[in-house]
Amino acid sequence: MFGTILCTSCIVSLAFLNRNKPRISGRHKPDINFHGTLTDRQGNTFFLNNITIYGRYRQIPFYIKPLSSSIDPTNNRENIDLAEIKSIKVLQPLTIKKRKYVEVEITHNDNMKDRYIIEASRLIMGDRTTQDGPIEKDIAMEKIISLTISHYTEPENNNSENEN
């Protein structure tokens, strides 16, 4: 009985210590690894892994552009998974109800195109590929020209790769 309690205490202590250790590998990586290219407004093109839009790859809110700038666009949205997107092209900046947005054209995997708006400050996040290893890159939606998703890989226990 005493041995069981001691063993349990040790396991709980180790779990607590490991949880509080600083991560040297950077931020938490998404469960599904999206790969692609990003071109910024300065003309630089980066190859990225672990792509997310403000930390999300599922149910990313894109808003339907309202007919009037007095209408709150956040009341009319579509939630799109990154796995359903082939590319995002940033078209133009907009200000609606004193908030900055950008209009984007999304090309879906079936080549259907839709236009939405999204907050200009929303970050595209990913690991930029370099010879020395990955560098975490965050860039605001308003600072990019395009993002193209080439494919994604699921966790190793699934061993599947999907081409867009």
pLDDT digits (tens, 9 = 90+) for 68-116: 989 999 999 999 999 999 999 999 999 999 999 999 999 999 999 999 9
Helices (H), the chain: 2-20
Give the residue, 88 or 30, on which the prediction is more confident: 88
Kindly state the tokens that stand for 158. Answer: 């699934």
Flag whether pLDDT at 54 surpasses 60. yes
pLDDT band of residue 27 (cuts 50, 70, 90) is confident
* Strand 135-140 versus strand 85-96 pairing type: unpaired
**Selection from 14, 4, 88, 22 nearest residue 53 by Cα:** 88
pLDDT band of residue 30 (cuts 50, 70, 90) is confident
pLDDT band of residue 6 (cuts 50, 70, 90) is very low
How far from 118 is each of 42, 86, 88, 106, 114, CA to CA, in Å? 21, 17, 11, 11, 13
pLDDT of residue 99: 95
Phi then psi for 32, rounded to 5 degrees? -110, 130
Q: Please give the average per-residue pLDDT across 129-142, as a whole number.
A: 93
**Selection from 158, 157, 154, 159 nearest residue 33 by Cα:** 154
Question: Among 8-17, 34-43, 49-58, 88-97, which stretch is predicted with the lowest mean pLDDT?
Answer: 8-17
Residue type at position 89: K
d(CA 155, CA 30): 10
How far from 32 is each of 25, 36, 121, CA to CA, in Å? 17, 13, 24
Phi then psi for 30, rounded to 5 degrees? -65, 160
* Strand 85-96 versus strand 33-40 pairing type: unpaired
Phi-psi region of 133 (alpha: psi -120 to 50; beta: other; left: phi over 0): left
pLDDT band of residue 32 (cuts 50, 70, 90) is very high
For the chain, domain boundaries: 29-163
